[in-house]
Amino acid sequence: MPKIKGKLGITEFYNVIFKGEKLTIDPKVVATINESHNFLKEFSQNKVIYGVNTGFGPMAQYKIKDSERIKLQYNLIRSHASGTGNPIAPKYVKAAMLARINTLSLGNSGIHISVVELMIELINRDITPLIYEHGGVGASGDLVQLAHLALVLIGEGEVFYKGERRPTEEIFKKEGLQPISVELREGLGLINGTSVMTGIGIVNTIYTRRLLEWMISSSSAINEIMQAYDDHLSEELNNTKMHKGQREIARSMRSHLKDSELTRKREHHLYTNNDGVSVFEEKVQEYYSIRCVPQILGPVLDTLNGVEKIMIEEVNSANDNPIVNVEKKHVYHGGNFHGDYVSLEMDKLKIVVAKTSMLAERQLNYLMNSKLNDILPPFVNLGELGLNFGMQGVQFTATSTTAENQMLSNPMYVHSIPNNNDNQDIVSMGTNAALITKKVIENAFEVMAIELITITQAIEYLGVQDKVSSKTKTLYSKIRKIVPPFKEDLVMYPFVNQVKDFIINNEN
């Protein structure tokens, strides 16, 4: 059972968000939060503290009467709960909540302990606040999205409960939950910060790693289908490059292919008995989408590892304003809520995921085009050429979806638009970046699903089920449980969607 201790890693996020494990909180964290709250309450007496006794943003020049401090926090939450568009899927909202719980548990926010306790209850009871995709510019953090979370915590707004969208008040009564205690700066403490973009970003890294594993498997299988020479995957060749990602991809593919009967040794075919040959019938080297996989997926892996590192650093950071420091007995004003770190990393991630989908689309095209592979019928058509169409129709979908990924991979990081009376004169657009990355990842799984079905049909046509590696045989069997061998044309969209659902929800 994961415990909130002020430090979380990918494993804790995976266990809570994907496996549904319950959260607990370390008593030391409770003490830290209480100490921070009590210190700020005392320290703010007779001082001007942003968001405690002032307005917000460009309205910070206005002092708030002591009698209206609590109303100020409610006004902030209600006025900023202004999101539009589609609701963010519950899995990503839970990740955002877990990220917010963790940053508040550091004791740098001065919030009341009820905030953390109620969010833990909501996660454990699978009650998910309604948060919309559109609204955040990622400067004072995810103001709009986090305001929708805060709205639920004060007993208002809407939640998803047992698959239905319901009023928060109704579900709180049903579950015996009480809204948070707003005492000092709970409104600002909740909506200031990068927790939504970070939570979405962490889920994005988990799915990207899963996508990459499926991509490695499919790339390995294509090497078998075309009986590629194996030296482009060799340790000797790849170790002449210093990049860890390239070396790891090559190692993983060698492991996948270690018991294959189909990949070939160059020395057996091209290094001997070639006297008198002027034109080689077979290609001396494979196409780049087959031969250069370690060099193409290596940067994907290295980038993913770097993005994951930054996401975990962000989730374990204080991203509030102002920052309460109990040890120094001081409150510091600044900009830790700014989301540039997350925005940039999400742009990096969506670029490499888009490139992954481009690789899958090119490998798919190789299998489809009989003039390129010389061993398969056009469109891997197992039926009657001309009468049947095989995988022809779904190639359009893969190409279209890959093109969308190429367009979506343009950066959000550089699309700052000043707003908030120019108080927020340069912003991160981090939440947009994270959500667009989410879309690119989902698209890539669609392309991957089409490629996997095609690979399975190719193995069927060649009749090499007993010659492929054991890992490819396992891959083949998994897809065959969803998509039967077919010669007559089928309505393909249910199969593509089923394979996509399978690979996005299961480890390879």
Give the H/E segment covering residue 219. Answer: helix 195-225
Contacts of residue 317, defined as CB under 8 A and 6 or more positions apart, other chains included, come to 103, 106, 336
Question: Which residues make Cβ contacts (< 8 Å) with residue 210, sequence separation at least 6?
Answer: 503, 504, 507, 508
How far is CA 82 from each of CA 77, 136, 142, 146, 239, rounded to the nearest angstrom? 10, 10, 12, 10, 53
Strands (E), 380-448: none
Residue 332 annotated as catalytic: no
Contact between residue 105 and residue 25 where contact means Cβ atoms under 8 Å apart: yes
Q: Where are the alpha helices (DSSP H) in 226-284?
A: 235-238, 244-257, 266-269
158, containing H or E segment: strand 158-161
Minimal CA–CA distance to 348: which of 399, 296, 414, 303?
Answer: 303
Give yes or no for a contact between 398 and 361, defined as CB atoms under 8 angstroms apart: yes
Q: Which of 14, 50, 74, 132 is catalytic?
A: 50
**C-beta of residue 196 within 8 angstroms of C-beta of residue 87:** no
Residue 45 phi, psi dihedral angles, 5° rounding: -65, 125
Cα dihedral across residues 252, 257, 263, 264: positive or negative: positive
Instruction: Give the DSSP letter string of 313-331.
Output: HHHTS---SSEEETTTTEE
Best CA proximity match to 341, nearest among 306, 372, 373: 306
**Active-site residue set:** 50
